[in-house]
Homo-oligomer: A and B are copies of this chain.
Amino acid sequence: MSRASQTSPVIETARRAKEAATALAPLPRTARDGALLAIADALTARTDEIVAANAADVEKARAAGTPDAIVDRLTLTPERIAAIASDVRDVVALPDPVGEVVRGSTLPNGLELRQVRVPLGVVGIVYEARPNVTVDAAALCLKSGNAVLLRGSSSAYSSNTALVAVVRDAVASAGLPADAVQLVPGESRDSVKELMRARGLVDVLIPRGGASLIKAVVEESTVPVIETGTGNCHVYVDERADLDMAVDILVNSKAQRPSVCNAAETVLVHEGIAAAFLPRALAALEKAGVTVHGDEAWVEAGEAEGVKVVPAVEEDWETEYLSYDIAAAVVPSLDAAVEHIRRWTSGHTEAIVTADTAAARRFVSLVDSTAVMVNASTRFTDGGQFGFGAEIGISTQKLHARGPMGLPELTSTKYVVTGDGHVRG
């Protein structure tokens, strides 16, 4: 294994994380859960300190003219800190992924083979804005026996520094190495770059945030990366869709929470149902405050219904709006819908609305995305909704983990082979 040979504050942090990971790996569940409970208690006990540190970030953000919605996401109140502590307690209750025997058998020669889940080692998380991610990520990594390197947004630096100090003290008080949780030093992009080149020290890097951050990490990192979160999701309304169901799913997929990665960004409608569906969809979308960027058929329907439809340009098909906007087209067939999706999707979630089982089966088999919904909203692609209890992100790549990543996705495996003097003949 090649190791980063140069040194710097970031590399030194990674080295300490690797040592902490080595110490963490053999610890039993009780030790890791004890640290998590200590973290939850400390967050409650030291709420004032965290709120004060957060106030500095909030003030700086307001002074810089940051939009209210972003300032709100940045803000920590005693209630929000209590909720974060409660989430940590929920993680304690989740099953321990470490030590799970994934596969096992006794081989014909009597060797006992077991494939056992083990921690990955050092997990690097690069994320933006929300300081609750700091604690969530630390809790999930500790639960799965990993050391974590946290590289949050500079706009939350003061909050993150306070949170990590509280977490580290709690971890140490529980007898675990404090360096299992560390903030990556430095506020510039250079520290992210150093993290990306720390192959041999960092086992995986998980970028969470905007598309440009993720693209940069994916392309430049020599540390293995798990790509997350970009969601250009589609809803396809098939020729044999129930119209009410299609309208409900479309509006929910788009407008229930437009700022997240599992919100729909494009609707495709089979031409056989377009005349019946488009007027109802336009009315419902307008009511939900959604602007449609449509092809010719949608523009015409809009004119007929008196709803303003913006003519779509090619860029609309690849845009992840994350806002009350949706691209819309009419397609001649299910296969044409699939082709459109294959061309433009980010591979996150696509939904079909249909009463036709053969159509559903074909759509599911041809669409190559993380999740395919049949008669359900795209908004369900989520670790919480899937019953995983927690999620560290939604992987849109094919290797290692695909879809919402829970605790098992933060582990690797090791083969343990036991004999009584077995040699190969």
A residues within 8 Å of B by Cβ? 1-2, 22, 25-26, 105, 107-108, 111, 113, 115, 118, 120-121, 199, 203-204, 215, 218-219, 222, 224, 226, 242, 244-245, 248-249, 252-253, 256, 342, 346-347, 360, 362, 364-366, 368-377, 379-381, 385-387, 397-400, 402-403, 412-424
Contact present for A1 and B347 (CB under 8 Å): yes
Q: What's the minimum C-beta distance from A285 to chain B, rounded to whole angstroms? A: 14
Contact present for B256 and A423 (CB under 8 Å): yes
For this chain, the copies found in one complex come to: 2
Chain B residues whose CB sits within 8 angstroms of the CB of A242 once the complex forms: 421
Q: What's the minimum C-beta distance from A338 to chain B, rounded to whole angstroms? A: 9
Q: Determine the residue in chain B with the shortest Cβ distance to A248.
A: B423
Given A215-B2, A380-B422: A417 and B372 interface contact (C-beta under 8 Å): yes
Q: Determine the residue in chain B with the shortest Cβ distance to A232.
A: B1
Given A118-B368, A387-B105: A204 and B398 interface contact (C-beta under 8 Å): yes
Chain B residues whose CB sits within 8 angstroms of the CB of A364 once the complex forms: 416
Contact present for A219 and B219 (CB under 8 Å): no
Chain B residues whose CB sits within 8 angstroms of the CB of A375 once the complex forms: 418-422
Dominant secondary structure of chain A at its interface with chain B: mixed
Chain B residues whose CB sits within 8 angstroms of the CB of A368 once the complex forms: 22, 25, 118, 121, 414
Of B115, B199, B365, B380, the contact of A111 (CB 8 Å cutoff): B380
Q: Determine the residue in chain B with the shortest Cβ distance to A346.
A: B1
Q: What's the minimum C-beta distance from A27 to chain B, rounded to whole angstroms? A: 9
Contact present for A371 and B415 (CB under 8 Å): yes
Q: Determine the residue in chain B with the shortest Cβ distance to A107.
A: B387
Chain B residues whose CB sits within 8 angstroms of the CB of A224 once the complex forms: 224, 397-399
**A and B contact pairs by CB, cutoff 8 A, 5 listed:** A107-B386, A204-B399, A224-B224, A375-B422, A385-B424
Q: Determine the residue in chain B with the shortest Cβ distance to A382.
A: B424
Q: What's the minimum C-beta distance from A278 to chain B, rounded to whole angstroms? A: 19
Beyond A204-B399, A376-B417, 4 additional contacts (C-beta under 8 Å) are A218-B222, A256-B423, A370-B414, A376-B418
Q: Determine the residue in chain B with the shortest Cβ distance to A404.
A: B415
Of B342, B365, B376, B415, the contact of A422 (CB 8 Å cutoff): B376
Of B22, B252, B342, the contact of A22 (CB 8 Å cutoff): B342
Chain B residues whose CB sits within 8 angstroms of the CB of A252 once the complex forms: 423-424
Nearest 4 A/B pairs, CB to CB: A376-B419, A252-B423, A398-B412, A245-B421
Q: What's the minimum C-beta distance from A26 to chain B, rounded to whole angstroms? A: 4
Given A22-B342, A386-B107: A414 and B369 interface contact (C-beta under 8 Å): yes
Complex CA–CA separation, A249 to B420 (angstroms): 10
Given A26-B366, A222-B218: A381 and B415 interface contact (C-beta under 8 Å): yes
Complex CA–CA separation, A417 to B219 (angstroms): 31
Q: Determine the residue in chain B with the shortest Cβ distance to A372.
A: B416
Q: What's the minimum C-beta distance from A204 to chain B, rounded to whole angstroms? A: 6
Chain B residues whose CB sits within 8 angstroms of the CB of A416 once the complex forms: 364, 371-372, 374
